[in-house]
Amino acid sequence: MKVEIWSDVMCPFCYIGKRKFETALAQFEHKSEITVEWKSFQLNPNLVTDTSKNTIQHLAESKGWTMDYTNQSIKHVTDVATEVGLHFDFEKAVVANSFDAHRLLHLAKKYHLQNECKELLLAAYFTQGKNTADHEVLKNIGTQIGLDANEVSNLLANNQFAKEVNDDIEQAQQIGVRGVPFFVLGNKYAISGAQSSETFLAALNQTWNETVKGNSL
Q: Say which CATH number the domain at 174 has.
A: 3.40.30.10
User: According to the model, what pLDDT value does residue 53 have?
Assistant: 87
**What confidence tens digit (pLDDT) does each residue in 24-43 have?**
999 999 999 999 999 999 99
The answer to whether 7 and 194 have CB atoms below 8 angstroms apart is: no
Exposure string for 192-212, b = 16+ CB within 10 A, e = fewer: eebbebeebbebbbebbeebe
The residue range of the domain holding 31 is 2-216
**Phi and psi (nearest 5°) for 182?**
-135, 120
Average pLDDT over residues 146-173: 97
Nearest one of 106, 96, 95 to 159, comparing CA atoms: 106
Average pLDDT over residues 6-27: 98
In the predicted model, is pLDDT for residue 58 greater than 60?
Answer: yes
User: According to the model, what pLDDT value does residue 217 have?
Assistant: 45
User: According to the model, what pLDDT value does residue 212 have?
Assistant: 83
pTM of the model: 0.95
Domains contained in the chain, number: 1
For residue 112, with 0-12 CB atoms within 10 Å meaning exposed, 13-18 middle and 19 or more buried, which class applies?
exposed
